Chain A
Amino acid sequence: MQPATAAPPTRSGEPLAVEVTDLRRSYGDFEAVRGISFEVRPGEVFALLGVNGAGKTSALEVLEGLATPGGGTVRVFGADPVRDRAAVRARMGMLLQSSGLPGDLTVAETVRTWAGTLSAPRDVDEAIAQVGLTGRADVRVRSLSGGERRRLDLALAVLGRPEVVVLDEPTTGLDPESRRQVWRLVQDMVDGGTAVVLTTHHLEEAEELADRVAILKAGRIVLSGTQEEIAETQPAVVRFTLDAGTPEPPVPAAVQVVSAGPRHEWHTRALQPVLAELLAWAAEHGVVLRYLQATAASLEQAFLAVAEGRVGDAA
Chain B
Amino acid sequence: MSAAPTTRPATPERTAMTTATRSAAPSRRARLRSAAGAEARLLVRNRTAVFNSVLMPLLLVAAVPALGIGGGEVGLGPTLLTAAVVISLVYLTYYNLVTTYVARREDLVLQRMRTGELSDGEVLTATAVPTLLVTVGQLVVVTAGVVALGEWSAPVQPLLVAFGVLAGLVLMVLLAIASTGFTRTAESAQITTLPIVLVSTALSGMFFPLSALPEWLSGIARFLPVTPVVDLLHLGFSGTTWEGDPVGDVSVWTWAVFPAGVLVAWIVVGTVLARRGFRWAPRR
Say whether A and B bind each other: yes
A99 touches B115 (CB 8 A): yes
A116 touches B30 (CB 8 A): yes
B118 touches A105 (CB 8 A): no
Contact among A93, A102, A156 for B109, CB-based, below 8 A? A102
CA distance A68 to B23 in the complex (A): 29
CA distance A91 to B109 in the complex (A): 22
Chain B binding surface SS class: loop
Contact among A86, A112, A113, A163 for B117, CB-based, below 8 A? A86
A113 touches B17 (CB 8 A): no
Q: A113-B34, A117-B26, A117-B35 are in contact. Are A104 and B42 (CB under 8 A)?
A: yes
B22 touches A100 (CB 8 A): no
Contact residues in A for B107 (Cβ distance below 8 Å): 100, 102
Contact residues in B for A4 (Cβ distance below 8 Å): none
Question: How many B residues touch A, CB cutoff 8 Å?
Answer: 35
Is B116 at the interface (CB under 8 A from chain A)?
yes
Within 8 A of A (CB), among B27-48: 30-31, 33-35, 37-38, 41-42, 45-46
Contact residues in B for A85 (Cβ distance below 8 Å): 119
Query: Min CB distance, B174 to chain A, in Å?
Result: 23
A116 touches B41 (CB 8 A): no
The residue in B31, B34, B37, B46 that gathers the most chain A C-beta atoms within 10 A of its C-beta is B34
Is B111 at the interface (CB under 8 A from chain A)?
yes
Contact residues in B for A77 (Cβ distance below 8 Å): 17
Contact among B17, B41, B42, B45 for A91, CB-based, below 8 A? B17
CA distance A156 to B112 in the complex (A): 10
B45 touches A100 (CB 8 A): no
Is A17 at the interface (CB under 8 A from chain B)?
no
Query: Min CB distance, A125 to chain B, in Å?
Result: 17
Contact residues in A for B45 (Cβ distance below 8 Å): 104
Is A90 at the interface (CB under 8 A from chain B)?
yes
A96 touches B17 (CB 8 A): no
Contact among A101, A113, A153, A156 for B37, CB-based, below 8 A? A113
Is B108 at the interface (CB under 8 A from chain A)?
yes
Q: How large is the interface on A (under 10, 10 to 19, 20 to 34, 35 or more residues)?
A: 35 or more
Residue-by-residue, is B13-28 near A (CB-CB < 8 Å gives 1, otherwise 0)? Answer: 0111101011111100
In the complex, the chain A residue whose C-beta lies closest to that of B19 is A91
A120 touches B23 (CB 8 A): yes
Residue-by-residue, is A74-97 near B (CB-CB < 8 Å gives 1, otherwise 0)? Answer: 000101000011111111011110
Contact residues in A for B14 (Cβ distance below 8 Å): 86-87
Is A229 at the interface (CB under 8 A from chain B)?
no
Contact among B23, B35, B112 for A99, CB-based, below 8 A? B112
In the complex, the chain A residue whose C-beta lies closest to that of B113 is A117
Is A148 at the interface (CB under 8 A from chain B)?
no
Is B275 at the interface (CB under 8 A from chain A)?
no
Contact among A99, A109, A163 for B108, CB-based, below 8 A? A99
CA distance A161 to B23 in the complex (A): 13
A118 touches B117 (CB 8 A): yes
B21 touches A120 (CB 8 A): yes
Is B184 at the interface (CB under 8 A from chain A)?
no
B112 touches A96 (CB 8 A): yes
A119 touches B16 (CB 8 A): yes
A105 touches B41 (CB 8 A): yes
CA distance A117 to B112 in the complex (A): 13
B16 touches A86 (CB 8 A): yes
Query: Min CB distance, B9 to chain A, in Å?
Result: 17
Within 8 A of A (CB), among B87-134: 104, 107-109, 111-112, 114-119
Is A160 at the interface (CB under 8 A from chain B)?
yes
CA distance A100 to B117 in the complex (A): 17
Q: What are 10 contact pairs spanning A and B, CB under 8 A? A: A85-B119, A86-B117, A87-B14, A96-B111, A99-B111, A109-B41, A117-B118, A120-B21, A156-B115, A161-B21
Besides A153-B112, A161-B21, 7 more A-B contacts (Cβ < 8 Å) are A66-B111, A79-B17, A100-B107, A100-B109, A102-B38, A113-B38, A119-B26
